[in-house]
A and B are shown apart, each in its own frame.
Chain A
Amino acid sequence: MSDLNFKEIYETYSSQIYRVCLGYVNDQEQAKDLMQETFISVWKNLSSFRHQSKISTWIFRIATNNCLRHLEKAKRIITTELPYQIEEKEEVKQDDKVLFLYRCISELEETDRLIISLVLEDLPQAEIATIIGLSVGNIRVKVHRIKEKLTSKFKKNGQFE
């Protein structure tokens, strides 16, 4: 498998996948672990990817399935000694509004967290329906309800004023 091809995919999707994982767990370290697990699966399965779906659908499916499997807090990525030292970067300080939004999302039900994360990543509802496994109509209703929940939380907190 070509490293170049993988690197392109990683550059395109890593931030999106990280945000979806962060929306699910609301913990930077765990989100990073989940994002890395996703790309380990992408690397392993890229050669067998048959283009039956869009690559974004395939990657988001892997990421969201990883999120759903995520139960324990322990560090999941175990590596042997790395060929060169990757510098440990400190946890980044996020803006208050960002922290509030991610906290609100992580308080939703698991499937709702995934749905709204994919909506915020600008994925079409048909693609979200394929990833989640629900009908487009069902997704539309759910998105509407989640949006209402989130905006009411933001308004209560005075965040949209």
Chain B
Amino acid sequence: MDNLNDLKAIWLNVKTDSLPNSEQMVAIIKAYKNKTLQRLVLLIVAAFFMIALMLFTGYVYDFKFLSSKIGEGLIVFSGAILIATNLNSLNRFYKLNVCSNKEYIEFLKQTRLRQLFYFRYTQVAGLVFSFIGLILYLYELVYKNQIVMITCYLLLVLYFTVIFFYFRPKSFKKGSAKLNLELDKLQCIEQQF
């Protein structure tokens, strides 16, 4: 008995009636929205918009204090970090699927490690730069009125505290747990090659 041919006969016996036909598949493709890609593009567009707005304000409103210019520079820098990192991710995203399984696993592993690095360091750096930038940037606008200054800085500190100590740890915990799980799985597959 030829066991492989027996297995082949069984293998090919699987019913495929539930698959969409080619017309339906084209309709599915045309309606398909890649959420991850959309989110990345939106983030890049928002960061570009923020940088343009900052530069435009700096051009129209003639700042006198050096702190405002440094603040503006730091905010623009944090936006640039966001754009550079996400453009890089977008570039990697388009390179997917073109290699062998072995290369692909290595590629995925590197991508997940980069995502972990982004969570751990890049995101923190972006937040710190924009926080310090905003503190410096707003000083010229609020220093004349003490009540406005205190209120403004209190709100700013409160906003960043909530982001930094509530939302970020929460999303980090969720994101890093998922990434670590994926990394374990990828390492396990890598060993099979």
Residues of A that sit less than 8 Å from B by CB = 3, 6-7, 10-11, 14-15, 18-19, 22-23, 28, 32, 35-36, 39-41, 43, 45, 61-62, 64-66, 68-69, 71, 77-84, 86, 89-95, 97-98, 101-102, 109-112, 114, 119-122, 130-134, 147, 150-151, 154, 160
B59 located at the interface, meaning its Cβ lies under 8 Å from any Cβ of chain A in the complex? no
Instruction: Determine the distance from Cα of A66 to Cα of B104 in the docked complex, in whole angstroms.
Output: 10
Most buried by A among B10, B26, B108, B189: B10
B25 within 8 A of partner (CB): yes
Chain A hits for B60, CB < 8 A: none
A110→B97 contact, CB < 8 A: no
CB closest residue in chain A, given B8: A120
Partner of A98, one of B4, B13, B98, B192: B13
CB < 8 Å neighbour of B22 from A7, A114, A134: A7
Q: What is the total of A-B residue contacts with beta carbons within 8 Å?
A: 156
**Nearest CB to that of A95 among chain B residues?**
B13
Contacting residues, chain B, for A10 (C-beta < 8 A): 22, 25
Q: Report yes or no: B14 in contact with A102, Cβ–Cβ below 8 A.
A: yes
Q: How many residues of B contact A (CB 8 A)?
A: 48
> Considering the complex of A and B, which 4 residue pairs feature the smallest CB-CB distances, nearest first?
A133-B102, A133-B100, A7-B22, A120-B11
CB-based contact B100/A81 at 8 Å: no
The verdict on B18 contacting chain A, using a C-beta distance below 8 Å, is: yes
Question: Judging by beta carbons under 8 Å apart, are B104 and A65 in contact?
Answer: yes
Contact yes or no, A39 B29, CB < 8 A: yes
Cβ of B13 and Cβ of A83 under 8 Å apart?
Answer: no
Distance, CA A78 to CA B182, complexed state (A): 21
Q: Can you list 6 A-B contacts with CB-CB less than 8 angstroms, sorted by A residue number? A: A7-B26, A40-B29, A68-B104, A77-B28, A82-B28, A151-B3
Q: Is B7 among interface residues, defined by CB-CB distance under 8 A?
A: yes
For residue B162, CB closer than 8 A to chain A, the reply is no
Greatest chain A CB density within 10 A among B1, B22, B101 is at B101
Q: Is the CB of B189 within 8 A of A32?
A: no
**CB-defined contacts of A121 to chain B, threshold 8 Å:** 11
Query: Can you name the residue of chain B whose Cβ is closest to the Cβ of A4?
Result: B22
- Chain A hits for B64, CB < 8 A: none
- Which of A78, A92, A102, A131 is in CB contact (< 8 Å) with B101? A131
Q: How far is the CA of A102 from the CA of B36 in the complex (A)?
A: 32
- Asked if residues A61 and B15 are in contact (CB atoms below 8 Å), the reply is no
Asked if residues B19 and A35 are in contact (CB atoms below 8 Å), the reply is: yes
Chain B residues with Cβ below 8 Å from A40 are 28-29, 32
Closest Cβ neighbor of A3 among chain B residues: B26
For the complex, give the distance between the alpha carbons of A65 and B41 in Å.
24
Contact B102 A132 (CB under 8 A): yes
* Closest Cβ neighbor of B30 among chain A residues: A83
- Within B17-63, which residues are at the interface with A (CB < 8 Å)? 17-20, 22-33, 35
Query: Is the beta-carbon distance between B19 and A19 smaller than 8 angstroms?
Result: no
Contact B3 A160 (CB under 8 A): yes
Contact indicator B17/A97 (Cβ below 8 Å): no
Q: Report chain B residues within 8 Å CB of A22.
A: 14
Closest CB in chain A relative to B170 CB, distance in Å: 19
- Are B4 and A68 closer than 8 Å at their CB atoms? no
